[in-house]
A and B are shown apart, each in its own frame.
Chain A
């Protein structure tokens, strides 16, 4: 592969590139979906190719191809240069990447059990056992389970002298029970909604989930939700479960601290951010107990890696400290615009996409409360868990989330189950009203394996560490 990377980088320089990098990526994936006692989908895919990114005349160009041949490397590199020259026709300033970042390194996700070495029979057996347990609950119309495994081998080389080889391995699984009543449909998921929970880990991650042990419980909850009353509306105290809070962090903290959004380069699609540059270090994002960290080094996190796709090492960066907004997720180019160094958040969805600023693991640091004490300390409120619907505006201020399940909290005790719970708010007001966060015992890593951004669209797989937390004065319930 060295010959191909050197061929591209040399050719790019000869053709006028002031900077060039090449990534050669090979991704293997395996997906299993089980539904109502049958294996509905079982697939295996291999995908490989390379992408060449260049700066010519102070502007970016990128071209990519699935055909890993020397002649194609030449064509693609020349095309990237041609595209960069076209970009230079409409530019307002020259690209500045800041000082060189040079690393010659390798990284591999530490795994105990290679998920691709585990037989498909064993994986299917585990999913079918969970599926059967879900279908034992009368009223469950669709029981679904899935597993996904990814092995991505990446080579990164640039004209500054970096050469980095990485192998990232991911394992994930999830269950979903859908109960259908006369006029209603209700769903419960485990361990996370919208597919699955995933981590950079081996098959040991799947075994630790205890899918079969939780299948019956979620199925019964889905059925019970059909006859549960509608969640009441009003302004009230809400305790969010850790999985729901992970999505809250993702949407209302993770996205607005992406510095490319702040600088407007995602304006036409994903939108911009309310956390504009002059707020850095000054703006009160949340209450004093709110501490949020971007950490690409957490073992097992879905946003954990060795080096980002610009060759910058994985890092741990404070985002919010004691409620004050103190840090962005950055790339080399955007960090240079603030006079800073990249904190390594550039990732591309495969060989055919350019790296964009993506979340790593955006974690709400644990607080001091035991969950039981938090409930006991709450006189009147609602406990909500597991995301069912989500929507947020293009500046990441006005959000509305729905959860799969909710419970009344009355005089310090969990009571009545509610369905169709939703809550809405404005990001900094909502976090300012956070008055309690559970401790490390209740803190765990969650994942968002389907984060969309960019044109052409890219999917990133990112992590979020959270523990349950309490929020005051939340507007609950908007459905007619």
Chain B
């Protein structure tokens, strides 16, 4: 950990060295450790200490970016020079307005001493508990447990200085038998919120219950999605269409549909980087305070998120969703929350005449981004529901389905929500389980 004082010195030095019209410096320091296990033993166990200094130099409307992970005086001088030299080679970008001006940043805490001091031995004890439970049940455990201390700081020549110190603890496990698997995961900024025994028990239970899976015919089914699967839906919607650049380029499902009902009225989705139930981050990678943004409210398309560039293009204010420069992908919501409903998972199952219970999705990819058509597989516990009960486990199915259409057929929403790490590992989203009336499975695996 560098600490705020040291980072202030680094950013001040970089800004004082720069001859550019405007200069931004992003510092990201990471001290992380990860214990990985497979075949019920620890096979990879790693640690990393790194720091990135990324300089964005602006000359008129020309922008250059350079980065280094060497904090020596010579290296910082070189990175500033390179960013400036790169900017001078640029053509003017007429849509660029300015780096952000300073604005008050809300206080939010996401640092835990327990996480920062978590040792390799403590991770081994947690992993050992999961492995033992698996072995006792004639199953095989695999997974990873990571802890990290991270600092993010952004400063610019217009007076912005934002600093955030955070911790992260992330445990995931897949428990397998010869013909089945189960999944459990927990993520929090405070490692004391992670109950390794419970995560292991969840995955072991699924692996035992999904033994002897049967093949069923692909087709249209009612589905019940556990929180892990719901998270994939919000993450994919974010990826293909909830950022301003996707709308400005005409490739988002939100294009020309603001104010319209795009999914079921049971669905409300927003982004809030300040909510401590998630993995808070009070400002974005341009140092702009994060605003709470309503994305979908009662099924109606409301807003997308902006960074300073996309906001400048429309004469709007950034919502604080910029990613590190140079960012050609545009802004993204990375702290999403879906509103809970009234149902328990048991009520969803009991109310289903015939349907499929999905633990999670795997390898999901956009097939038609504008229609939000996604393909992917089920994984780690897929079950047929008949007459209000889980009938038997089934082999994993492939789906090809518009996530928007799926959310239009919501029948029940879970009354609790769970924080789930996104596959892109940018952050985490807080979501409930869902019961959807229609979901199209297009294939089955062996």
State whether A59 and B42 are in contact (beta carbons under 8 Å apart), knowing that A142-B249, A391-B376, A426-B445 are contacts in the complex: yes
Per the 8 Å Cβ criterion, residues 74-91 of B in contact with A are 75, 78-79, 82-83, 86-87, 89-91
Q: Given the complex of chains A and B, what is the CA–CA distance between A184 and B89 in angstroms?
A: 36
Render A249-266 as a binary contact track against B, CB cut-off 8 A, 1 for contact: 000000000000001111
B224 interfacial by beta-carbon distance below 8 Å:
no
The CA of A460 and the CA of B251, in the complex, are separated in Å by 29
Q: Count chain A CB atoms within 10 A of each CB in B125, B172, B379, B400 and give the residue with the most.
A: B400
Contact check, A264 vs B250: say whether CB atoms are below 8 A apart: no
Residues of A within 8 A of B40 (CB): 90, 92
How distant is A124 from chain B, measured CB to nearest CB, in Å? 7
Closest chain-A Cβ to B362's Cβ sits at a distance in Å of 6
Question: Closest residue of chain B to A428, judged by CB?
Answer: B446
Q: Please report which residues of chain A, range 412-454, place their CB below 8 angstroms from some CB of chain B when the two chains form the complex.
A: 420, 422, 424, 426
Query: With contacts defined as CB atoms under 8 Å apart, how many contacts are there between chain A and chain B in the complex?
Result: 268
Judging by beta carbons under 8 Å apart, are B370 and A185 in contact?
A: yes
- Is B379 within 8 A of A185, CB to CB? no
A397 at the interface (CB under 8 A from B): yes
Which residues of A sit under 8 angstroms from B46, Cβ to Cβ?
Answer: 62-64, 83, 353-354, 456
- Bound-state CA distance A92–B37 (Å) is 11
A-side interface size class: 35 or more
Q: Find out whether the CB atom of B373 lies under 8 angstroms from the CB atom of A141.
A: no
A377 located at the interface, meaning its Cβ lies under 8 Å from any Cβ of chain B in the complex: no
Closest chain B residue to A425 by CB distance? B443
Q: Convert B271-307 into 0s and 1s, putting 1 for each residue whose CB lies closer than 8 angstroms to a CB of A.
A: 0000000000000000000000000000000000000
Q: Are B445 and A455 in contact (CB under 8 A)?
A: no
Q: A59–B42 Cα gap in the complex (Å)?
A: 8
Query: In residues 324-353 of chain A, which contact B (Cβ within 8 Å)?
Result: 352-353
Contact of A66 among B44, B49, B120, B443 (CB under 8 A): B49
- Given A38-B92, A80-B47, A90-B124, A267 and B38 contact (CB-CB distance below 8 Å): yes
Query: Would you give the shortest CB distance from B13 to chain A, in whole angstroms?
Result: 17
Report B86-117 CB contacts with A as 1/0, cut-off 8 Å.
11011111110000000000000000000000
Contacts A268-B143, A398-B398 known; A43 to B365 CB distance under 8 Å? Answer: no
Is A65 in the interface zone, CB < 8 Å from B? yes
Q: Mark A52-70, 1 if CB is under 8 A from B, else 0.
A: 0000000111111111000
Q: Are A120 and B49 in contact (CB under 8 A)?
A: no
B150 to chain A, nearest CB (A): 13
Within 73-88 of A, Cβ neighbours of B (below 8 Å) are at 76, 79-80, 82-87
| Beta-carbon contact of B69 and A47 below 8 Å | yes
A298 to chain B, nearest CB (A): 28
- Residue A277 is within 8 A (CB to CB) of chain B in the complex: no
A266 touches B38 (CB 8 A): yes
Contact A268 B38 (CB under 8 A): yes
* CB within 8 Å of B: which A398-422 residues: 398, 400, 402, 420, 422
Task: Tell me the smallest distance from the CB of A68 to a CB of chain B, in Å.
Answer: 8
- Contact between B49 and A86, CB atoms less than 8 A apart: no
Given contacts A90-B131, A268-B174, A352-B50, whether A184 and B370 have CB atoms under 8 Å apart is yes
Residues of A within 8 A of B (CB): 31, 33, 35, 37-49, 59-67, 76, 79-80, 82-87, 89-93, 120-121, 124, 128, 141-142, 144, 178, 180, 183-185, 263-269, 271, 274, 352-354, 388-395, 397-398, 400, 402, 420, 422, 424, 426, 455-457, 478-480
Further 12 A-B residue pairs, CB within 8 A, beyond A49-B69, A353-B46, A398-B445: A42-B63, A45-B66, A61-B45, A66-B69, A84-B45, A124-B89, A268-B142, A389-B375, A391-B377, A400-B443, A456-B146, A479-B373
12 sample A-B contacts, Cβ–Cβ < 8 Å, listed by A number? A38-B95, A40-B328, A66-B51, A90-B127, A142-B249, A178-B249, A185-B369, A185-B370, A267-B140, A391-B365, A391-B376, A424-B443
Binding site for A on B (CB under 8 A): 32-52, 63-70, 75, 78-79, 82-83, 86-87, 89-95, 119-121, 123-125, 127-128, 131, 140, 142-144, 146, 172-174, 176, 249-251, 325-328, 362-370, 373, 375-377, 379, 396, 398, 400-402, 425, 440, 442-446
